Amino acid sequence: MPPIPRRNLLKAAAVTGAAVPFSWLLAKNAPQAAADSPAAKSADEPVDINWLEDGGLGAAAGSTFGVPWPKGTHPGDRTFALTTADGKEVPLQTWATAHWPDGSLKWTAHAAGEGLTGSAYKLTTGTPAAPAKKITVAESGGRITVDTGVIRAVIGKDGQRLVRSVTRGSTEIARDGRLVLLRQGDLDDGDHGSAAWERFDGEISGAKVEQRGPVRAVVRIDGKHRKGRRAWLPFSVRLYFYAGADSFRMVHTITYDGDQTAGHESGDFIRGLGVRFSVPMRDQAYDRHIRIGGEGRGFLTEAVKGVTGLRRDPGAGVRTAQVKGEKLPDPATWDQRVASRLHLIPTWGDYTLAQLSADGFTLRKRTKPGHGWIAAGGGGRASGFGYVGGVSGGLSFGLRDFWEKFPAQLDIRGAAGDAAEVTLWLWSPQAQPMDLRFYHDGMGQDTFPEQLEGLEITYEDYEPGFGTPYGIARTSELTFWANAATPDADTLVRQAAAVRTPPQLAAGPADIARAKVFGGLFAPVDRSTPARARIEDRLDFLFDYHKGQVEQRRWYGFWDFGDIMHTYDGDRHQWRYDVGGYAWDNSELSPDLWLWLAYLRSGRSDIFRFAESMTRHTGEVDAYHLGEWAGLGTRHGVQHFADSAKQQRISTALYRRYYYFLTADERTGDIMHALVDSDETFLVLDPLRKVREDPDYEPDPHALSIGFGTDWSGLAGAWLTEWERRGPKAKKAEARLRSTMETIAAQPNGFVQGSGLYDLDTGKYAIEDEPKVSVSHLSAVFGLVEVCAEVIELIDLPKFKEAWLDYCRYFNATKAEQKARYGTDFGSLILVQGHSRLDAYAAVQLVDDKLAARAWQKFTEFHEGDGYPDATTSWKTVELEGPRVLEPGVEAAWVSTNATAQYGLAAIQNLALVGDKLPG
């Protein structure tokens, strides 16, 4: 697809979009297979709950999952029970995450732990079973104590020890859990990092209990990293515990607030960022064990003092027991040629596994500081998991997305002493320091006219000082087990697998679809006709291709993993990773929405995981969480934070809420709540500053120019989510949603008016005296379709619905039809294929078969440079080999992320809305 001229983009940063409800679905859709039909169950029947991936719970503590409910089905105080397929009760904890306007439950979250031994479950109304080992939480002085019935964790409310101790029974397994930051003040641009660095330690500013059981407890800890008087790099850590579990999970978020401005003598370059625990070592050195996960199911299996491979044999039973991690018999029973010389066998106290790229790790060990390291192996992609301890107990630990978010590292130090020190490095100190400096010097683009010229050549919207990482964030997930003894090989494999892919329970597509949530813009996958099957095949092709490109092009790294590229360069057989606004996608044209709707209708675990990593990335890295731009996101570019267009359309809660409601992830909830007041960002940053004709313009809090498209959809998404979650600002959010809907509807041309003057105090748009036509192809492609579909179903405002239906009817209409309705046409518009779903929505609402036919016509026909038309799209890849490319692989040069996202959304929504009108 040709680039969208940036001048047009800026001028149109305020227009509109479209949406759709779901009440038509059962009546309008073509028949579906009974097992997949949203109508296959009545509202009071059980919901089927299954594992997202095969294999079930594994070694994880438990699972938290979300379930939607049709409006009016369950009152807010309804209780639920979970049973296995054969009727055994599973302890369950339930809480509401969203309500319908009538007060009934819209989404519930459920936590389950012990008893999850099957592959399939039933969620029903009823009294939940109580856990055999109920979780307890106690607060006293400066600490919080969580007891799962198996382990007990003491959590600090102040100081530097986030987790003061973890005990199992009477045995202390770990202590002094803390955060570590290594700061480097400068970089040697000769590609060698300076040796000068300083250590900061995480210091707690506050801790609170967010859930107290009986099945699940959550503790949140906030603070900054401190050394002396300076504190920086804010962190937010949540600890998750399940009743009856011997493990706990940590969700760790940092927000970058340093300075790496080019030209400064000293900058804030992160040399290392980690989570550290001390592990008491009580056993004899030969009964202490090291386990470090390699690739796949691989493990380094060693003892601190090994008795295998010696010149003299202690005995087969001794050797076998040590490899298994079992307690060795008294050395008096060994071959004395070994027992008498134990003091001459080295003890290996230090181990390091460093994953400095997505494709390679190295493993080293040494006896103790001051002595040389020796190679202990290596490989491609380590699991990010390890264990240190002995036959009397020890700590398993793991970092999720270990190689995907390189450079990462696992350290064990001092295992031969009284206590080992374990550090899970989120940023490896062996790597080059984290360099977040802007990637070029501005190239003389000091004025708006020069910057607009830059848009014409590299599609990059540059502005001095705007390419800053100040305020971006990153979240990591870690898991720890307090083991009573050294785990056997099978247990270690299960634990490592649970780190890599946390077991997730989920409702299926049919149960989700019949709840009519998210505007009802999806229906379960249906291949009942050749025409439907052909579209489904193409949807599968697009997902599989983009997933494959992540691997082929190595779109990995601490700040990069989860995003995809925007546009392809067929000449270089390479995505345009280094060309301005064509590089990282940053949610441009809503791939996030495409992926989540693709998951909801299919239940595919690979789509869920792909969407999950994108949500983690785009919600954290592509948006600002501190500073004057907090609440805004950054347009696509060579660096995720580089472009000077900071807008609502990227930070929007609409891209996050799917993941939140499906998993109840609290961090995602934080992000969405923080957006409720983001209308205030228009006071600090004018999105039209580069094209505004008035050079003396100053934002007026009573007359802010805010568009009805990309701007309002982002605001409305945040308000809708806060309202249905019943958040702290729910009343304000609902009032803002209603007042803006009312005043958009009251404009002379409704959504076609394009924008209005918004009053921050009243939350209303001023009603224009004269009609205006200002329509952009961008207005409806950043969530406006989806949010309008929801709010029209939730809030009875006929004028708003009428205004939205007019926009839907006329975007793809002929110029003559547009002129007849509005006195002028809409000009030259693109993204026709993506906008076919507006036709479909209007067709259903107005019961108009001609609009339904137009939806499929616009979806399939050729439009110059637009989408994937039937007649000209090959739907194939071609093989690539050297020397044309760095690594062999495939390409589909005709694919762009813009087109994929809009094709995917149009296909999914058209099938759900007017699938019965699909020709052929």
pLDDT confidence of 58, banded at 50, 70, 90? low
Task: State the average pLDDT over residues 628-652.
Answer: 97
Give the 3-state DSSP-derived string for 232-282, with helices as H, strands as E and coil as C.
EEEEEEEEEEECCCCEEEEEEEEECCCCCCCCCCCCCEEEEEEEEEEEECC
Q: Which residue has the higher pLDDT, 148 or 265?
A: 148
With a cut of 60, say whether residue 825 has pLDDT above it: yes
Neighbours of 190 (CB within 10 A): 5
Find the Cα–Cα–Cα–Cα dihedral 716, 867, 752, 650, rounded to 10°: 30
pLDDT at residue 186 greater than cutoff 50: yes
pLDDT tens digit string along 876-915?
A: 999 999 999 999 999 999 999 999 999 999 999 999 999 9
pLDDT for res 705: 94
- At residue 865, the pLDDT reads 84
Q: Taking a C-beta distance cutoff of 8 angstroms, is the pair 151, 168 a contact? A: yes
Is 13 strand, coil or helix? coil
Q: Is the pLDDT of residue 29 over 90?
A: no
pLDDT at 39 over 80: no
501 exposure class (CB count in 10 Å sphere: 0-12, 13-18, 19+): middle
Asked whether the predicted pLDDT for residue 47 surpasses 60, the reply is: yes
Q: Per-residue pLDDT tens for 726-754? A: 999 999 999 999 999 999 999 999 999 99
- How do residues 649-694 score in pLDDT, each as one tens digit? 999 999 999 999 999 999 999 999 999 999 999 999 998 899 988 8
CA distances for 528 relative to 259, 525, 563, 636, 661, angstroms = 57, 9, 34, 38, 30
pLDDT in tens, 642-653: 999 999 999 999
Chain segment 503-529, per-residue pLDDT in tens: 999 999 999 999 999 999 999 999 999
Average pLDDT estimate for 295-318: 97
Q: Torsion over CA of 558, 560, 563 and 569, rounded to 10 degrees? A: -150
pTM: 0.95
For the segment 790-808, what is each residue's pLDDT rounded down to a tens digit? 999 999 999 999 999 999 9
Q: What local confidence, expressed as pLDDT, does residue 693 receive?
A: 85
Please answer whether residues 267 and 196 qualify as being in contact, where contact means their C-beta atoms are separated by less than 8 angstroms.
no
Mean pLDDT of the chain: 93
Is the pLDDT score of 41 beyond 60? no
Q: What is the pLDDT of residue 695?
A: 81
pLDDT in tens, 146-179: 999 999 999 999 999 999 999 999 999 999 999 9
DSSP 53-74: STTTTTT-S-EEEEEE--TTSS
Least trusted range by pLDDT, from 132-136, 205-209, 693-697, 849-853:
693-697
What pLDDT shows up at residue 26? Answer: 29
Name which of 118-122, 492-496, 710-714, 842-846 the model is least confident about: 118-122
pLDDT bracket for residue 137 (50, 70, 90): very high
pLDDT at 32: 34
pLDDT of residue 189: 61
Express each pLDDT in 757-788 by its tens digit.
999 999 999 999 999 999 999 999 999 999 99
- For residue 9, the model assigns a pLDDT of 33
Q: Residue 61: its pLDDT value, please?
A: 83
Q: What is the pLDDT of residues 531-567, one digit of tens each?
A: 999 999 999 999 999 999 999 999 999 999 999 999 9
pLDDT attached to residue 109:
98
Report the pLDDT value the prediction gives residue 216, as an integer from 0 to 100.
97
pLDDT of residue 644: 97
- Cβ–Cβ under 8 Å, residues 550 and 401: no
Q: How high is the pLDDT of residue 262?
A: 55
Q: What percent of the chain has pLDDT over 90?
A: 89
Q: Is the model's pLDDT at 22 over the cut of 60? A: no
The pLDDT of residue 267: 84
User: Quick one: pLDDT band at residue 19, thresholds 50, 70, 90?
Assistant: very low
40/316: higher pLDDT: 316
Cis bond upstream, residue 329 (ω within 30): no
